[in-house]
Chains A and B, each alone.
Chain A
Amino acid sequence: MDILETVFVRNSLLVAFAVVGATLWISYLIADRLTHGRIHGSAIAITLGLVAAYFGGRYTGGSNGVADFAYLGGVGLMGGGMMRDFAIVATAFGVKIGELKKAGLAGVISIFAGVIVSFIVGALVALAYGYSDPVEITTIGAGAVTYIVGPVTGSALGASSEIIALSVAAGLVKSILVMILTPVIARFIGLNNPQSAMVFGGLMGTTSGVAAGLAATDPKLVPYGAMTATFYTGIGCLLGPSILFFIVRAVV
């Protein structure tokens, strides 16, 4: 046991590469044999990852999914912000400048529309559930923007930790849904070219959701969606505790 633990923990990143590789292999096998390629292998792998994260969190009580198991700590590093951003930027290799310019204006509009619409939806749900304090409504609305905008807004406005936790949960639900639903819904919303991918990234905004959702839809679209999505959280953090809060305070 000791030997196993020593080797696995010391080489955690390599364990993660092996485990993730095996997961992808199984997922592509399932996609091929059981769904005849109708569901993309990476969509199955991402879903398996989320399911594993659920059981990891249940079992360990931690907040990092399977990465809280000592043996799988490397998954935390491999799937952490640094590696994610590094790989996302790498996907921009080979992108044509012309494609970016084509969706330029629509891309910018989508970022603002995405932040504001998600915020309004979240705030309305908070109202429907009987919240009447503008700080609480704003924090929950900001959580529906992303799980980063929620706590940033909440702590800027001095919301209670329960409300902040609620806003993080709303953002997590959004992110996970985008991961799972994007490949299913892509054909119905015309998500099949670089321009609509940029608009999609700007509207959804959750970098992890967009990154995983597009990967499972068509990996060629990833750089376009990711490019706009990465501006979304910043814009959300900018608007949440300021303009959007003032509007909520004026209306409520």
Chain B
Amino acid sequence: MVVYGVALLSACLIVGMLIGEALGVLLNVEANVGGVGIAMLFLVIASNSSRFKSLVEGASGRGIEFWSAMYIPIVVAMAARQNVVAAFEGGVLAIVAGVAAVIVSFALVPLISKLGTKSSAENNEVDA
């Protein structure tokens, strides 16, 4: 059943969010700490384990794949509801700070990627 996959997906997100909120309270932070990431880990574990086979294979799997495929349209909708005007009106300081942060972070990607395992560093060079 398609809904089994959707239900598994929902359950992963809700439990992940609960853990993320609890972590936030524990750390005394007004934010959800990694809820989505934790939910993703649950889904990865479920889809790699034999115990959850009936929830991730066949029609159930298609229920998850549907939402995975809806990802780009949802991101386009997300872009269309951003407060772009506020970003522009923040003035020069906001733009300079944002631009500088992005440039420096981009530059660090290859550096920190190299800290990974040797094989991944080699892949980088071959593919580039």
Are these two chains actual partners, yes or no?
yes
Residues of A within 8 A of B (CB): 16-17, 20-21, 23-24, 42, 45-54, 56-58, 63-67, 72, 75-76, 78-80, 83-97, 100, 102-103, 105-106, 109-110, 113-114, 117-118, 121-122, 124-126, 129, 140, 143-145, 148-149, 152, 156, 165-166, 168-179, 181, 185, 187, 189-193, 195-196, 199-200, 202-204, 207-208, 211-212, 215, 219, 222-223, 226-231, 233-235, 237-238
Chain A, Cβ-Cβ closest to B66: A90
Question: Which of B67, B78, B79, B106 makes the CB contact (< 8 A) with A181?
Answer: B106
Chain A residues near B124 (CB-CB < 8 A): 190, 192-193, 196
- B36, A85: Cβ atoms under 8 Å? yes
Chain B residues near A190 (CB-CB < 8 A): 109-110, 113, 124-125, 127-128
- B98, A172: Cβ atoms under 8 Å? yes
Chain B residues near A235 (CB-CB < 8 A): 33
- A238, B29: Cβ atoms under 8 Å? yes
- A215, B75: Cβ atoms under 8 Å? yes
Known contacts A24-B76, A121-B101, A187 near B29 by CB under 8 Å: no
Pairs across A and B, CB under 8 Å, 21 listed: A17-B73, A23-B76, A45-B72, A53-B83, A57-B84, A80-B78, A84-B74, A89-B36, A93-B9, A93-B43, A109-B112, A117-B108, A121-B101, A124-B100, A165-B86, A170-B90, A172-B90, A190-B125, A203-B112, A208-B75, A215-B75
- A79, B77: Cβ atoms under 8 Å? yes
- B76, A42: Cβ atoms under 8 Å? yes
Question: Which of B86, B91, B98, B112 makes the CB contact (< 8 A) with A113?
Answer: B112
- B93, A125: Cβ atoms under 8 Å? yes
- Counting CB contacts under 8 A, is B81 at the interface? yes
- B35, A230: Cβ atoms under 8 Å? yes
Residues of B within 8 A of A (CB): 9-10, 12-13, 16-17, 20, 23-24, 27, 29-37, 39-41, 43-45, 47-48, 56, 61, 64-65, 67-68, 70-91, 93-102, 104-110, 112-113, 115-117, 119-120, 123-125, 127-128
Question: Which of A52, A91, A174 makes the CB contact (< 8 A) with B71?
Answer: A91
Chain A residues near B43 (CB-CB < 8 A): 89-90, 92-93
Chain B, Cβ-Cβ closest to A56: B80
Question: Which of B37, B67, B91, B104 makes the CB contact (< 8 A) with A117?
Answer: B104
Shortest Cβ distance from B17 into chain A, in angstroms?
A: 8
Chain A residues near B80 (CB-CB < 8 A): 20, 49-50, 52-53, 56, 65-67, 72, 75, 79
Chain A, Cβ-Cβ closest to B34: A231
Alpha-carbon separation in the docked complex, A83 to B45 (Å): 22
- B87, A176: Cβ atoms under 8 Å? yes
- B86, A144: Cβ atoms under 8 Å? no
